[in-house]
């Protein structure tokens, strides 16, 4: 035999007092107005701070957008033997070839990593997309 289940009377969701009395909702407490209002001194300081940061609004959001070239391939860089550079990077002295999978717009950044402190490049040549280039050349891209 099935047991008879006790049915609860329906609750009116729109009646706020009934919802609070049954414990479905906590009673609302009024806001503390001192927290949400500012004194005259606070208003003056806020205006001063806002004015100070408006001057730099343009320069803070500015950034150079690097041109994006949607051409990705393997970049192979052949360098002259440079023991100081190779030891500093943790490679053996006989290691002279590096390969990367990168986009064409990333090539100048990668090639800049193969320079000494004086700004002199020790790249023999590099290959990208099946063509060989000198260190001072960049691949040309047709739009």
- pLDDT tens track for 58-108: 555 566 666 778 889 999 999 998 888 888 888 898 899 999 999 998 999
Q: What is the number of structural domains in the chain? A: 1
What is the pLDDT, as a whole number, of residue 142?
Answer: 57
For the ranges 3-12, 27-36, 52-61, 106-115, which has the lowest average pLDDT? 52-61
Residue 10 lies in a domain: no
Considering the domain boundaries, does residue 87 fall inside one? yes
Q: Does residue 89 belong to any structural domain of this protein?
A: yes
Residue 7 above 60 pLDDT? yes
pLDDT at 115: 87
Residue 60 lies in a domain: no
pLDDT at 21 over 80: yes
Look up residue 132 and give its two tokens: 């060989």
User: Of residues 49 and 100, which shows the higher confidence score?
Assistant: 100
The pLDDT of residue 66 is: 67
Q: Is residue 52 one of the residues assigned to a domain?
A: no
Question: What residue numbers bound the domain in which 91 lies?
Answer: 72-133
Pairing, β 97-103 against β 72-79: antiparallel
- CA 30, 35, 40, 43 torsion-angle sign: negative
DSSP 135: T
Is 64 part of any domain? no
Q: Is the pTM of this model over 0.85?
A: no
């Amino acid at each position: 035999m099935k047991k008879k289940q006790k049915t609860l009377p329906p609750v009116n969701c729109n009646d706020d007092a009934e919802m609070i009395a049954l414990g479905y909702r906590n009673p609302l407490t009024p806001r503390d107005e001192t927290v949400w209002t500012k004194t005259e001194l606070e208003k003056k300081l806020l205006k001063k701070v806002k004015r100070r940061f408006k001057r730099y609004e343009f320069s803070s959001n500015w950034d150079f957008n690097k041109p994006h070239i949607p051409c990705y391939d393997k970049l192979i860089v052949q360098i002259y033997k440079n023991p100081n550079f190779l030891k500093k990077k943790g490679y053996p002295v006989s290691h002279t070839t590096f390969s990367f999978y990168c986009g064409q717009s990333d090539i100048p950044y990668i090639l800049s990593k193969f320079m000494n402190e004086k700004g002199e490049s020790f790249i023999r040549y590099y290959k990208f997309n099946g063509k060989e280039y000198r260190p001072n050349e960049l691949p040309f891209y047709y739009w």
